[in-house]
Amino acid sequence: MNTFIALASLGVITMFLGVLNLKKWLLPFIVAGLAVTIAVILPSWNNPGNTFLDMFYIDNFFVLFSALMVVSTLVVFLMAAQYYKGEKRSLEGIYSIIIFSLFGGIMMVSAGNMIMFFTGLEIMSISLYLLAGSHKTSYESNEAAMKYFLMGAFASAFLLFGIALLYGATGSLYFTDISSKIAAFHGQVPSLLKAGILLVAIGMAFKVAAAPFHFWAPDVYHGSPTLITAYMITVIKVAGFAAFLRLTMLCFGSDTSLWVNSVAAISAISIVLGNFSALTQSKSKRMLAYSSVAHSGYILIALVSIQTITPTIIAYYSAAYVAANLAAFIVIIMVKQTTGSSDFESFNGIAKTNPVVAACGAIAMLSLTGIPPLAGFMGKYFVFSSAIQQGYLWLVLIAIVGSAVSIFYYFRPVINMYMKDAAYETLKTSKLSIGILVMLTILTVILGLIPGLIINL
């Protein structure tokens, strides 16, 4: 509960700082506020808090994922200093909406009741529609907001219909009640329940951009302001998957045969479509959008093997994914601010002008591909090995082929950075952004070398 109060007041005070014309203090205050939020979250480790009549759970799962989300939001805000440099309009609106969407995401991750879950999801999504369109003069940003809004509203409708059918079949909105009701059917499940689970799964697949429900992702991720894309592709993705995981563990976990084949199919399609579509892209943001579709597929493998997997493995995978993606987006922001475009050609010759940036960007790409000993490899290794234990060898084979294909597109910016000549003297950077970039890269390497840091928690 304290986490929610801290985040909500942070968002409201941010707005007032804007009203009082204290713009200089905006970012330092938000960073301090998010640090306080982390300090509020961490003591709940091994120390479950008040659940408010089972409405939400403050447990280790919550601490793992919400701490990850808050830390990544912190990094996004640190990048905001460079991204919005020289911006004349007032930014407190955008900042407070980012905090509100984080609030929704954390609410979704901690939910123990369908109403709580759906309210959190809507707070998160509606804030995101606004953020996607926050670059008002850009045609692409407007298009992204419109597309995201229409598709997202559609997906929410599916989800809500599914929840209603689940309520009709089990007579409860609490995850644990639904789970015990499903177990009590002993395989003789009513058709309402099947339809409900199907629709909820479709809605969630929409939200995490898993194929074949990913068609909004490339346009939205490409059109949104780059900083917001970084936020969506990391924090929101983690929120979506943590909530999906919570739903499958607490709610549908008592009879996996109902949904496991569908999720395996969605996962396989995501891996194939995501990786092969990314091959033909020429813009870095679009490429990362398709790569995030493929990564959705990899994380869905973890859901398939829900009986053997632990939340720490998925948290580890998410942390590796977030660190690599944030590093990649810092490089993209630098490139875009220097050259005005995020095409692969704009990456030419960074290794000569800014060797540190190029090295960090290359390590991020290697980690996303899954090259040992980086964090991305260990994450994939843990997820795949637990899937093999469950007998999903075919799915793991598809995933490995997909990873092999992904080398081609992840290496294109790396090749451009190292093999070609730059058209400019040096990138527009700041000490802060270089510092964060190096930190994220070190984190990627350390997590890869010592995976026990998160896995053995």
Partner 1 sequence: MEKYIFFGLSGLAIFSAIMVLVSNKPIHNLLYLILCFMAIAGHYLLLNAQFLAVVHIIVYAGAIMVLFLFTLMMLNLNLKLELNKSLMARIVAFVSGLLLLVTLVIILNGLVIPTPKTATTQIGMTRDLGQVLFSEYMVPFEAASILFLSAMVGAVMMVNKNK
Instruction: At 56, give phi and psi (nearest 5°).
Output: -145, 165
Q: Which of 73, 82, 127, 325 binds partner 1 (CB under 8 A)?
A: 127
CB of 10 to partner 1, least distance (A): 11
CA geometry: angle at 208 spanning 181 and 382, to 5°? 80
49-57, 314-322, 330-338, 343-351 -> range binding partner 1 (CB under 8 A): 49-57
41-49, 130-138, 218-226, 440-448 -> range binding partner 1 (CB under 8 A): 130-138
Our finding on whether 188 is near partner 1 (CB under 8 A) is no
CB of 26 to partner 1, least distance (A): 14
**206 vs 344 by CB, closer to partner 1:** 206
Query: What's the chain's length in residues?
Result: 457
x/- map, 196-225, partner 1, by CB under 8 A: --x---------------------------
Residues 318-347 binding partner 1 (CB under 8 A) are none
Our finding on whether 19 is near partner 1 (CB under 8 A) is no
Annotate 224-255 with DSSP letters as a single string: S-HHHHHHIIIIIHHHHHHHHHHIIIIISTT-
Instruction: Classify residue 188 by burial, with Cβ atoms within 10 Å: 0-12, 13-18, 19+.
Output: exposed
Q: Is 343 helix (H, G, I), strand (E, B) or coil?
A: strand
Q: Which of 6, 74, 76, 116 binds partner 1 (CB under 8 A)?
A: 116
x/- map, 75-114, partner 1, by CB under 8 A: -------------xxx--xx-xx--xx-xx--x-----x-
Our finding on whether 11 is near partner 1 (CB under 8 A) is yes
CB of 39 to partner 1, least distance (A): 21
Our finding on whether 289 is near partner 1 (CB under 8 A) is no
CB of 14 to partner 1, least distance (A): 10
Our finding on whether 394 is near partner 1 (CB under 8 A) is no
CB of 30 to partner 1, least distance (A): 15
Distance CA 330, CA 357 (A): 9
CB of 46 to partner 1, least distance (A): 23
Let me know: does 271 contact 298? Beta carbons within 8 Å: yes
**26 vs 319 by CB, closer to partner 1:** 26
CB of 154 to partner 1, least distance (A): 12
- 406: tokens are 């992904």
- 404: tokens are 């092999």
Instruction: At 223, give phi and psi (nearest 5°).
Output: -80, -30
Q: Which of 10, 41, 122, 300 binds partner 1 (CB under 8 A)?
A: 122
- 72: tokens are 């990544």
CB of 259 to partner 1, least distance (A): 13
Our finding on whether 226 is near partner 1 (CB under 8 A) is no
Q: Which of 30, 72, 73, 120 binds partner 1 (CB under 8 A)?
A: 120
CB of 381 to partner 1, least distance (A): 36
Let me know: does 104 contact 127? Beta carbons within 8 Å: yes
CA-nearest of 233, 202, 235 to 328 is 233
- 146: tokens are 């419109």
- Which DSSP letter does residue 275 get? H
**55 vs 439 by CB, closer to partner 1:** 55
CB of 242 to partner 1, least distance (A): 18
Q: Which of 134, 248, 275, 296 binds partner 1 (CB under 8 A)?
A: 134
CA 1 to chain centre: 23
Number of amino acids touching partner 1 (CB under 8 A): 43
Our finding on whether 55 is near partner 1 (CB under 8 A) is yes
CB of 133 to partner 1, least distance (A): 7
Our finding on whether 8 is near partner 1 (CB under 8 A) is yes
Let me know: does 166 contact 114? Beta carbons within 8 Å: yes
Our finding on whether 452 is near partner 1 (CB under 8 A) is no
Q: Where do the H-state alpha helices sit in 87-216?
A: 92-110, 114-132, 139-170, 175-184, 191-207
Our finding on whether 191 is near partner 1 (CB under 8 A) is yes
Question: Which residues sit at the interface with partner 1, rule CB under 8 A?
Answer: 1, 4, 8, 11-12, 15, 52-53, 55-56, 88-90, 93-94, 96-97, 100-101, 103-104, 107, 113, 115-116, 119-120, 122-123, 126-127, 129-130, 133-134, 136-137, 190-192, 194-195, 198
